[in-house]
Structure 1
């Protein structure tokens, strides 16, 4: 993550702190002027707005479930429910982060923003009649606010009642909701949402599963039909890393320099606290005053470069002059963003940079933002798996042909790990789709020889389950449903053991 504080799309989907966590720099839309007073609201909606757009008490009663909140908001504001869920998932994976803002000042699952250049939070308050405080922290209110803002964008575009029934025709409204700094970033943002519609969504939030069934949608891109496609293959002449896209950050957000291998000796790992598309847009916004050299997408590991290696990006305070910054899509508190594709893509980039500039591939020179002297940030946080990442960076596998992801199975991703001396590592994994945890102990020594190894998982309120014996490569998998529950986990390899307290609750 970077400072000051004010995401995606592989067309594949599911999923888009550094200083930038940028879930998006929302700038409002043409309808913004229409929401400056009650008398303007009728003009905003062409006289056909639902009662909720005319001010007064909140029109959507608190919903008992997340699914209910999306259904109610969609009905009241006449926004396609699946589109609303896909937009929220692209922004936050349906995590409201307990009312805490993103790096760009976005709140709640719908990422309603308040910052110097964007005020969709205040706009939502005016449209719904709900207090700003409620829109920040109450999930149902936040979803209603997002639906109201999206509907207002559609009304400003003149989308009729029949047009609103066609999800393909909401594309421009979605692009404007994102508040991107330029047409290319706006298209990337909207394409991310429509990719999710095409591939479907299955998310577990607060113990509740929210789904969107896959559907074939050919979006009507309208004014964005000829906008640059930032996801398209392109000549990478401008990018320093051969496989990266090049999208220049605002010149207000970095300093032109002439750094080389004699100057660059650190690589700093950040987490955006936001989405890939939104972060690209934020770095293009001159009010941000922050940037990073590279951004990595969660779903497929796509990479965009926004500041040349030789130039000084504003990402790590005291390390700015000596470091290259790499931002990763997602939020520190949510491990679901840290995919295998992201780890592998980012590690390949870090390995390339280390070789190019003679940077040692160790944890002294490849550091998290939290480790930068004087930093007040926490990224990449406890959900970032440094063991996996550094093994990918160095190309060292420890000789064990098995990974914890292979042992636990498809859908599981590492959220924590603990070294067992030099004999192995015990890993805790989570599958957001099923709400299950898994523990596996991966040996590092005596490979191929059966030695004492174990792994266990204990869900609070349930009996501990252990896999223990003499194993050649690993112990486990030990799996259990643990959504909204604390877990104890651990294992042994040789004479070394690890036992966690109850943690990773919820």
Structure 2
């Protein structure tokens, strides 16, 4: 080979080597389960937002979940909760069905009507601004998680520029985060920003509902003291930013008054329950309702987007909220803002604020943190047979009871599959997706979504009919998968006596029937637990169950008409066992006049046990049953 050819070859090889060294290495593909983490990093870099702030803000809104692209209870979409009220038209709640929220058969039924819903608030239309800032259409921002994250980052950066904020420390973004909440009250905005910074301090990690692994490293050194304060009139834990918006106690004339009853709890009656409601109407509309003396009332309202809390009644007073006067007189009601069609999801901000409030109330009133005392409205029984069918069913099957109780510091634990005679319902929320219908229209399948509910069948097979709830289906027809039909449905945290086990199926006693649910050891939907169970005394073929624990007639003073002790349409047969929840004293709070000095608590000698009889709790006469530890039957 000639010298020139050798030189050419050498130069060519050198060029190839140099080019290979200079060319950028092919980027490693992002793992399928890390794409959301990468989307946060990319959006933070693109818009100049601290990644920790973007991650924590999204966590407080949605826990980084996608929620199948469906709206939250305030029309928020995606991990960043971009709101688009036009895509999520409002529904209704307190005007549905036939329930009288007061639930006192000593007074005429109360069925007030709500005013129209105002959907003009800017906080319900943040997707519009995000679309302008990113040049991405609103439909894509709703449906594409990565674009949704970009939209949220663009919004946050926009708010920071508007406020003239500078700096890369998370605390420097406090004002922008507060504005992202959509709150118009400074204390509410501060409480939201405090919560976001608290998440940065503690860190977070989880696998989202669509299988994405996301992590926020903890920053325990972050110096960010809470700035939110409570209105001095409120009964709230420090730093929650509670607002006092009182419900009116007003004389309406003609013996009528509203919208609650004055009381002297807990001196007069122990507060035994906390009731979780979903308004299914906007927060602003809810406030208008509770301030209307002709409407009804409850103690607290929680806003979805930022978890802001407004208190309307003192704990001592009795709200007209749960449809059962016995429960009303012994409970505190929390209305959680709901918006759009039934079956929407609930924000992390609201879960966290609600849990902080309930922890505080439970400590103040010595209320056990379990599902016998922390009830959904859908767990409250009708008072008499005629009222059973019309009772409300909120917060519904998409309220995440397991996560809620984790935030309460009282997670549901079990003993595996040991034969203890009792189980606690505990499915995996994200992957447990019953095929409900009717979220948007009768018969239309609901979007697949995690649920706290487990479906019961008449036999140990998935295609067996559902159980019969004679209260909801007086004609004896089986229950259905319609979203509001809970006649063959149990919920996370509820406890039931075991009737039988066959392979991967477990049967429990439920409404006088044996209900089967799929419970494989490899992926259990219930765990064994210990407790007490009740059954009819020997010699009785069955006993009545009641919707309220009222005193015997002889306990009433001459000026008060005794309330009838009316059994419900169900019956507890001999040979069946039901979990014992509460020892309930027989009490009736007589409060039918505006003059509160005449109000009287009637107490009797009768005693009742509260049991988990179906989806709702019910009561049995102590004298009708025997009590055993659950393992006695195990």
Q: Residue in 1 aligned with 2:155?
A: 149
Q: Residue in 2 aligned with 1:247?
A: 242
Write the distance in 2 (CA, Å) between the matches of 1:455 and 1:335: 38
Q: 1:185 to 1:246 in 2, by over 3 A?
A: closer
Q: Residue in 2 aligned with 1:269?
A: 276
Displacement after TM superposition at 1:68 (Å): 2.0
Q: Residue in 1 aligned with 2:362?
A: 348
Is 1:181 paired with 2:184? yes
Q: Residue in 2 aligned with 1:135?
A: 141
Displacement after TM superposition at 1:427 (Å): 3.6
Q: Residue in 2 aligned with 1:11?
A: none
Higher relative contact order (CA 8 A, sep 6+): 1
Write the distance in 2 (CA, Å) between the matches of 1:184 and 1:452: 52
Displacement after TM superposition at 1:99 (Å): 2.8
1:32-431 correspondence to structure 2 within 5 Å: 65-114=35-84, 115-118=119-122, 119-160=125-166, 163=167, 165-205=168-208, 206-215=210-219, 216-219=221-224, 228-230=228-230, 238-239=233-234, 247-250=242-245, 254-257=247-250, 259-260=261-262, 268-271=275-278, 289=288, 292-294=298-300, 306-309=311-314, 324-327=332-335, 345=359, 348=362, 367-368=377-378, 378-381=394-397, 405=413, 407=415, 423-428=421-426, 430=428
Displacement after TM superposition at 1:158 (Å): 2.2
**CA-based RMSD:** 6.2
Displacement after TM superposition at 1:444 (Å): 9.0
1:484-499 correspondence to structure 2 within 5 Å: none
- Equivalenced residue count is 350
Write the distance in 1 (CA, Å) between the matches of 2:352 and 2:164: 39
Which runs of 5 or more structure 1 residues have no equivalent in the other structure?
1-61, 274-278, 355-360, 393-401, 409-416, 446-450, 459-476, 498-506
Q: Which moved more, 1:72-81 or 1:104-113?
A: 104-113
Cα deviation 1:454-484 (Å, max 9, x = unaligned): 89879xxxxxxxxxxxxxxxxxx9986x7xx
Write the distance in 1 (CA, Å) between the matches of 2:140 and 2:367: 45
Q: 1:288 to 1:116 in 2, by over 3 A?
A: farther
Write the distance in 2 (CA, Å) between the matches of 1:406 and 1:190: 36
Secondary structure of the 2:136 match is: coil
Write the distance in 1 (CA, Å) between the matches of 2:162 and 2:337: 31
Write the distance in 2 (CA, Å) between the matches of 1:286 and 1:379: 18
Secondary structure of the 1:194 match is: helix
Residue 370 of structure 1 contacts residue 378 of structure 1 at CA under 8 Å; is this kept in 2?
no
Displacement after TM superposition at 1:177 (Å): 0.9
Write the distance in 1 (CA, Å) between the matches of 2:45 and 2:179: 21
The structure whose residues are more often helix, as a share, is: 1
Write the distance in 1 (CA, Å) between the matches of 2:302 and 2:83: 23
Secondary structure of the 2:423 match is: strand
Q: 1:101 to 1:371 in 2, by over 3 A?
A: farther
Write the distance in 1 (CA, Å) between the matches of 2:576 and 2:303: 37
Write the distance in 2 (CA, Å) between the matches of 1:242 and 1:212: 27
Write the distance in 2 (CA, Å) between the matches of 1:288 and 1:297: 10
Residue 127 of structure 2 contacts residue 141 of structure 2 at CA under 8 Å; is this kept in 1?
yes
Secondary structure of the 2:426 match is: strand
Cα deviation 1:62-90 (Å, max 9, x = unaligned): 99821122122112111111211100111
Residue 234 of structure 2 contacts residue 243 of structure 2 at CA under 8 Å; is this kept in 1?
no
Write the distance in 1 (CA, Å) between the matches of 2:159 and 2:39: 20
Displacement after TM superposition at 1:241 (Å): 7.9
Q: 1:338 to 1:229 in 2, by over 3 A?
A: closer
Cα deviation 1:206-265 (Å, max 9, x = unaligned): 22221111112224x9xxx9x6434xxx9x6x34689997833556xx544451359999
Residue 309 of structure 2 contacts residue 353 of structure 2 at CA under 8 Å; is this kept in 1?
no
Q: 1:349 to 1:137 in 2, by over 3 A?
A: farther
Residue 56 of structure 2 contacts residue 199 of structure 2 at CA under 8 Å; is this kept in 1?
yes
Q: 1:229 to 1:262 in 2, by over 3 A?
A: closer
Q: 1:368 to 1:169 in 2, by over 3 A?
A: same
Secondary structure of the 1:185 match is: helix
Cα deviation 1:353-411 (Å, max 9, x = unaligned): 99xxxxxx989x9733898976776414365669x99xx9xxxxxxxxx9951647xxx
Cα deviation 1:110-167 (Å, max 9, x = unaligned): 112244212311111111111111222221121111101000011112234xx2x332
Write the distance in 2 (CA, Å) between the matches of 1:243 and 1:190: 15
Residue 73 of structure 2 contacts residue 337 of structure 2 at CA under 8 Å; is this kept in 1?
no
Write the distance in 2 (CA, Å) between the matches of 1:190 and 1:167: 10
Displacement after TM superposition at 1:492 (Å): 11
Q: 1:126 to 1:314 in 2, by over 3 A?
A: farther
Residue 124 of structure 1 contacts residue 145 of structure 1 at CA under 8 Å; is this kept in 2?
yes
Q: 1:369 to 1:127 in 2, by over 3 A?
A: farther
Q: 1:289 to 1:424 in 2, by over 3 A?
A: same
Secondary structure of the 2:243 match is: coil
Displacement after TM superposition at 1:347 (Å): 7.9
Residue 58 of structure 2 contacts residue 81 of structure 2 at CA under 8 Å; is this kept in 1?
yes
